[in-house]
Structure 1
């Protein structure tokens, strides 16, 4: 295989893994956006933690409690998407990094109270990770490395 052939023709397992990571990212973003509908719950939790808090301070902290997780989710989503494209290009380091991220995502399901989107995102990421290690995927990544 020439370098161009290798890079232009990833196997179906890599393509499926790529789209799996895209779906996982979109569902994670959906889950992250659910927090925007949680204003009342966040405010109530903050009020319980500090009943004497002034209303303007409560409002600012509630907004931060919504914005910070969404901003973090956006950054993580961008990194995840970048890694998915690198996987599609046959980069083993991207496959390994996505595997680590998927393991961390699965571990977070055990330590948090995830939404349905969190479960969907993790499940799809696990399937995509498995696909990225199947024989055709590994052969493709090895061929890209040799061509490279």
Structure 2
């Protein structure tokens, strides 16, 4: 559908995929927050894994590890957000990259790296991938690419 300004309006399938990917990206932030809440457990794991470490070294290692994990979660969430808006704008590359991200997420669950938040994230992303490739979505992306 084209508006009076000549821009295509995304179909409901793309809008729903957009929100699905937003949910998936938001769960990356939730994972980061859950990690921060599990600082004591992480510290205990570091101390039991390396009993020769001093308390200060173990706390530093835990802080760095959690900082990196939260930083990665934030980066993933920001990339998801950016790609979600690109998908809504009809960019096929965003759709392909989001599909690849979803496959990586699913693979991490299969290898036993998942938790409840991870399953919610993959479920939302999987539904969004399906929606992003339905006929109405394909027609929209193709029309944007042609206009492009």
TM bucket by the smaller chain?
A: over 0.9
Cα distance in structure 2, aligned partners of 1:6 and 1:130? 24
Matched ranges for 1:89-108 at <5 A: 89-108=89-108
Q: CA deviation at 1:2?
A: 5.9
8 Å Cα contact 2:31-2:73 kept in structure 1: no
* 2:40 maps to 1:33: no
Corresponding position of 1:125? 125
Q: Under a length normalisation based on structure 1, what TM-score does the superposition of the two structures give?
A: 0.93
Deviations 1:57-92 (Å, cap 9, x if unpaired)?
Answer: 011011112111000010111111111000000000
Unaligned segments of structure 2, at least 5 residues = none
Corresponding position of 1:45? 45
Using CA pairs below 8 Å that are at least 6 residues apart, which structure has the higher relative contact order?
Answer: 1
What is the aligned residue count?
Answer: 147
Cα distance in structure 2, aligned partners of 1:113 and 1:143? 39
Cα distance in structure 2, aligned partners of 1:123 and 1:32? 19
8 Å Cα contact 2:28-2:74 kept in structure 1: no
Cα distance in structure 2, aligned partners of 1:32 and 1:142? 36
Cα distance in structure 2, aligned partners of 1:32 and 1:117? 11
Deviations 1:16-59 (Å, cap 9, x if unpaired)?
Answer: 00011111111221122101111121111111221111111011
Cα distance in structure 1, aligned partners of 2:101 and 2:11? 23
Matched ranges for 1:1-148 at <5 A: 4-7=5-8, 9-148=9-148
CA RMSD of aligned residues (A): 1.5
SS at 2:86 equivalent: helix
Which portions of structure 1, spanning 4 or more consecutive aligned residues, are displaced by more than 6 angstroms? none
